[in-house]
């Protein structure tokens, strides 16, 4: 599918620039950039043939950045507005339950989404490059080398702010001298497009993170982190993530700074590709299936690791956006996609391993069909499904449980 750009209108009237590329039939990753940057930060992903073939890629520019609208009031940047922007983008491209990749400041957007739309609205999170888990938590993780830059990039003095552009861009990279002049100018241009007051709003806006902290625990998380990051005390950030989420995988990149997606695109793109291929092949992503949040990233284990993959079908044979996803709450996931072995091997060897694993998983396991009746409430459906899965989880070999979800009564 050729790339398609759109200028969308968020509920408060702010225009949001967005773009999609890749294969719409594949799982979706929504990419969200960092402070004073634009979506060009993800050009290496949107130009990768393997990702375009295996992933539905969506990126947008946050309000106050790049080609999106730039309202100049603090209230326009509160959490609800960011959540609405995200939802507007998803609805415009027909995206349901995407994986969200947040780079730097973009990492705090999932917290807004979870607060207003619940943890089931997204399937997983990739925190990329010194990601801000929340504005409150980020205050504990700011690198001493980055602190002097903050008042400069937010300065109301135009000359001071302008002079901080190049140091800010350079600080994102372990080796800024490796940047081409064209790339550096594109990044500096994105910085220059933004009034300094908006950078201040973006860092000081309202973001209540209590709901996210309390309800996001079962969202599977991957952290891709450069070890030379001078924006973020990444070990502290990783510790915060592990306190909030049950399943956190970490990929540390030597010689990489604050922007892994730009500094080490081959490695980070491969990691995303392994993730998507594993999910897509293992859960048999046919149009008649709706998979749980956990199986987006890995094979689900409920009570025992022998339990099979969990899917749901609609009697009409169409993808059901209306399926009660809350019935999957409480499942525990076990990950494949991070190991010391493949971190130490070349791309071709990793892909060969992946193909072999996929081949071994092609045999259809024994399965039981459980019908979720149309008249059940979410609470009743959740209770009955958990009971059914508990029985299967205690079986010696484990079985695949197909959830037949009846169309809801309207």
Place of tokens 């990149």: 253
- C-alpha to C-alpha distance for 188 and 168, rounded to whole angstroms: 9
Q: For residues 395-409, give the mean pLDDT.
A: 61
φ and ψ of 274, to 5 deg:
-60, -45
Residue 324: the pLDDT is 32
- The ranges assigned to domains in the chain are 4-287, 293-405
- C-alpha to C-alpha distance for 198 and 283, rounded to whole angstroms: 43
User: What pTM does this model have?
Assistant: 0.71
**Banded model confidence at residue 307, pLDDT cuts 50, 70, 90:** very low
- C-alpha to C-alpha distance for 368 and 360, rounded to whole angstroms: 21
Residue 5: the pLDDT is 98
Average pLDDT of the chain, as a whole number:
81
- C-alpha to C-alpha distance for 195 and 105, rounded to whole angstroms: 17
E strands present in 231-278: 248-253
Q: Which residues contact 176 (CB under 8 A, 6 or more apart)?
A: 169, 170, 184
Domain 4-287: CATH architecture, name and number where available: 3-Layer(aba) Sandwich (3.40)
Query: Does residue 40 have a pLDDT over 50?
Result: yes
Q: 212-221: per-residue pLDDT in tens?
A: 999 999 999 9
Query: Does residue 184 have a pLDDT over 60?
Result: yes
Residue 408: the pLDDT is 54
Q: For residues 353-369, give the mean pLDDT.
A: 64
């Amino acid at each position: 599918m050729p790339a398609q750009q759109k200028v969308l209108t968020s509920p408060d009237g702010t225009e949001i620039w967005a773009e999609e590329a890749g294969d719409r039939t594949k799982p979706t990753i929504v990419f969200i950039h960092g402070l004073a940057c634009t979506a060009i930060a993800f050009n290496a992903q949107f130009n990768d043939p393997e990702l375009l073939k295996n992933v539905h890629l969506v990126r947008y520019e946050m309000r106050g950045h790049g080609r999106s609208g730039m309202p100049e009031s603090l209230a326009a940047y509160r959490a609800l507005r960011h959540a609405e922007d995200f939802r507007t983008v998803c609805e415009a491209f027909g995206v349901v339950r995407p994986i969200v990749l947040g780079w730097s400041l973009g990492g705090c957007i999932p917290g807004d989404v979870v607060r207003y739309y619940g943890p089931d609205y997204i399937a997983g999170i990739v925190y990329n490059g010194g990601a801000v888990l929340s504005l409150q938590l980020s205050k504990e993780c700011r690198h001493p080398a980055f602190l002097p830059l903050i008042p400069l990039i937010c300065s109301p003095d135009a000359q001071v702010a302008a002079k901080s552009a190049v140091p800010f861009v350079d600080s994102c990279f372990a080796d800024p001298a490796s940047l081409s002049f064209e790339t550096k100018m594109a990044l500096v241009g994105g910085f220059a497009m933004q009034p300094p007051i908006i950078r201040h709003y973006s860092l000081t806006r309202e973001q209540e993170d209590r709901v996210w902290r309390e309800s996001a625990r079962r969202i599977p998380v991957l952290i891709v982190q450069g070890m030379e990051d001078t924006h973020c005390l990444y070990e502290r950030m990783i510790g915060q993530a592990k306190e909030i989420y049950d399943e956190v995988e970490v990929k540390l990149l030597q010689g990489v700074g604050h922007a892994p997606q730009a500094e080490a695109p081959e490695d980070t793109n491969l990691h995303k590709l392994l993730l998507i291929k594993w999910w897509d092949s293992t859960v048999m992503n046919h149009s008649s299936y709706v998979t749980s949040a956990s199986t987006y990233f890995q094979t689900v284990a409920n009570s025992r690791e022998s339990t099979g993959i969990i899917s749901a079908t609609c009697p009409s044979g169409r993808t059901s956006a209306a399926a009660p996803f809350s019935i999957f709450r409480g499942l525990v996931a076990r990950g494949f996609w991070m190991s010391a072995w493949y971190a130490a091997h070349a791309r071709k060897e990793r892909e060969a391993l992946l193909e072999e694993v996929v081949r071994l998983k092609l045999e259809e396991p024994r399965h039981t069909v459980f019908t979720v009746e149309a008249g059940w409430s979410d609470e009743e459906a959740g209770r009955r499904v958990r009971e059914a899965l508990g029985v299967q989880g205690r079986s010696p070999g484990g079985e695949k449980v197909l959830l037949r979800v009846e169309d809801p009564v309207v």
